Structure 1
Amino acid sequence: MKAFQVNAPHDFKVAEVEVPTPAAGEVLVRVAFAGICGSDMHIIHGDNAFVRFPRITGHEFSGVVEALGEGVPDVSVGDRVCVDPVISCGTCYPCRINRPNVCSALEVIGVHRNGGFEEFVSVPAANVHQVPEHISLDAAALVEPYTIAANVLDRMQPHRGDRLLILGAGMIGMTILQMARAMGIDEIIVTDVIDERLAAAKELGATHVLNSRTQDVEKEILALTEGEGVPLIADAACVPALLPQMLRLASPAGRIGLLGFSVQPSDLIQLEVIKKELTLVGSRLNNRKFPEVLALMASGKLDPLALVSHRLPLSEMPDAIDMLDHRPEEARKVLIQISA
């Protein structure tokens, strides 16, 4: 079968590999669609400290169950599924307090073990979620990015009437925007440096958009909020240098959700945190958010296909990587169609 394999940083190709055999407790999924994520790009560039090479990447995918390993209940051959990439041990401290997404022995499909950019992938049966019939498999491939949004919003604990500032109008910023709207957050400010992305954010429900390259973001936001600042700030830009600005823009008692994996240090002025009693929370992957996102998709409150800009076959994966590297303004979400 064909698979997109990363052998080492900057060394990748579509290769022939063997079809895996599902072990006990696993299912074999014939992959229909898989989305390219920023995390996949970090693996390709050698910026992911967790990956083990060689690796078939891809952690956003959907498909159809092809075969079952031994001892698999509640899953049948032919089931349409999407896959939660979080594999946890169930016994360590984070797992015991119901935070398996930061399990001490965490494995992530597409990072620590092979993922969805292949024709068939074997995954734990506990990680597959059945897709309702009226949700298409291309839409179901995008459940995982929305779980990232659901997780960071949950970590920030929104209150009724809270304003939300989203830094960055890329894919994760857009899923946070849609998820926040679905949760009833009415006023949402989005910043970016690309006007096309800001226009898309406006189409998807942002109440205010600001180009941080051409506008004074702090001045504009403080004017919008009558000097109070913003209770909720989601850092979907993942630029460490922006943390001081986030601290200044946060309202007293504000919550800031951080999503980036950069190893670069951030300047943190303790006075800003203490005088406002701010809460800074990290958010990694998702904590069992797949059922919540599938329910919102089924209700029509999320529109994943509005985020898709390109659909390409697996053979054109290297071209998609080149586009995302050199012409990112052309793309929102790039979906790879593997079988359908």
Structure 2
Amino acid sequence: MKSIVVQQPNTLVIEDRPLPTPAAGEVRVKVKLAGICGSDSHIYRGHNPFAKYPRVIGHEFFGVIDAVGEGVDSARLGQRVSVDPVISCGHCYQCSVGKPNVCASLVVLGVHRDGGFSEYAAVPAKNAKLIPDAISDKHAVMVEPFTIAANVTGHVSPTEQDVALIYGAGPMGLVTVQALKGVYKVKQVIVVDRIEERLAMAERSGADWVINNGNQSLQAVLDEKGIKPTLIVDAACHPTILQEAITLASPGARIVLMGFSSEPSQIVQQGITGKELSIFSSRLNANKFPVVIDWLEKGLIDPDKLITHTFDYKEVKDAIELFEKDQRQCCKVLLTFS
């Protein structure tokens, strides 16, 4: 079979590899579609601190089960599945309190273990989530990105009364817009970014108001309107954002951080306690695949608004370079395998 392998930073090849045999408790998935994520690019460029090389990248993938390992019901053969990349032990403290995404022995497909940018992938059977027939292939491959939004919103329980501010109109910001508007019916969702084309994508995804903070002060714009956000999501992931979010937030607001920057953030503690703000962080997803599959079945979200390009997997280098360089026109890039 063919697999996309990052041998070392900046060295990506398509290798011939043996067809995997599923171990006990595993299934083999014949991959049909996979999505490119920023973390795939970071592994390729050597900027992901968790990755080990060589690595078959890819943690957003969909396909059909074509083999099962010992202990797995053969009735699963032929099932259409989207794969949850979070592999957890199920019994550590974190798992016991509903946070398998930060399991003590966390393994993420495509990061710690070979992932889905391959013609076939062996994965734990419990991680291969059944996709109902009513959900199309290209929507099924988008389940994982939307689980990021499901995890974020699961922390903060949005309401229709919220005024939400989202920093960043990249894929993670856009899935969060869709969740807030389509699922939670939040009254007002504001998106801030410095790229006009991305802000247009945010409007198409349901944002009520977009602001380009590259040429104007976000605080001045919000102050002029008398707006104090009650929910702020940092999907831009810059260390300076936290203090600005604290300043802009309404008393009693919730702030969610999604970034992995190793640079320190300078904050004034009084701003947090004076308003009794709640600050959350969100990593990966904690059993959110069923949540997003339900959203898709009910038509509450629309992945088509994010998918901008599709490539054959043999063109993966071109696909990643487009994803990295064309932030004006490119949002979600899919790879086809069969």
Structure-1-length-normalised TM-score: 0.96
Q: Which moved more, 1:269-278 or 1:153-162?
A: 153-162
| Pairing of 1:12-27 with structure 2 (within 5 A) | 12-27=12-27
Deviation at 1:157, TM superposition (A): 2.7
Deviation at 1:250, TM superposition (A): 1.0
Deviation at 1:75, TM superposition (A): 5.2
8 A Cα contact 2:198 2:327, kept in partner: no
**Structure 2 equivalent of residue 326 of structure 1:** 325
**Structure 2 equivalent of residue 201 of structure 1:** 202
Q: Give me the whole-angstrom Cα distance separating, in 2, the residues matched to 1:20 and 1:167.
A: 41
**Structure 2 equivalent of residue 43 of structure 1:** 43
Q: Which moved more, 1:67-76 or 1:279-288?
A: 67-76
Deviation at 1:222, TM superposition (A): 2.6
Q: Give me the whole-angstrom Cα distance separating, in 2, the residues matched to 1:17 and 1:267.
A: 48
**Structure 2 equivalent of residue 147 of structure 1:** 147
RMSD, matched Cα: 1.2
Q: Give me the whole-angstrom Cα distance separating, in 1, the residues matched to 2:219 and 2:326.
A: 28
| Pairing of 1:247-262 with structure 2 (within 5 A) | 247-262=246-261
Deviation at 1:118, TM superposition (A): 0.4
Q: Give me the whole-angstrom Cα distance separating, in 2, the residues matched to 1:131 and 1:137.
A: 9
Paired AA for residue 65 in structure 1? I
Deviation at 1:328, TM superposition (A): 2.4
Runs of 5+ in structure 2 lacking a partner? Answer: none
Deviation at 1:74, TM superposition (A): 7.7
**Structure 2 equivalent of residue 138 of structure 1:** 138
Paired AA for residue 328 in structure 1? Q
| Pairing of 1:67-146 with structure 2 (within 5 A) | 67-73=67-73, 76-146=76-146
| Pairing of 1:276-295 with structure 2 (within 5 A) | 276-295=275-294
Paired AA for residue 209 in structure 1? V
Paired AA for residue 16 in structure 1? D
**Structure 2 equivalent of residue 216 of structure 1:** 217
Paired AA for residue 313 in structure 2? L
Deviation at 1:159, TM superposition (A): 3.4
Structure-2-length-normalised TM-score: 0.97
Deviations 1:161-200 (A, max 9, x none): 0111110001011100001112221210001111011111
Paired AA for residue 292 in structure 1? V
Deviation at 1:9, TM superposition (A): 1.3
Q: Give me the whole-angstrom Cα distance separating, in 1, the residues matched to 2:197 and 2:312.
A: 25
**Structure 1 equivalent of residue 190 of structure 2:** 189
Paired AA for residue 10 in structure 1? N
8 A Cα contact 1:14 1:317, kept in partner: no
Q: Identity of aligned pairs, percent?
A: 45
Deviation at 1:103, TM superposition (A): 0.6
Deviations 1:133-172 (A, max 9, x none): 1111111001001000010111123234011111000101
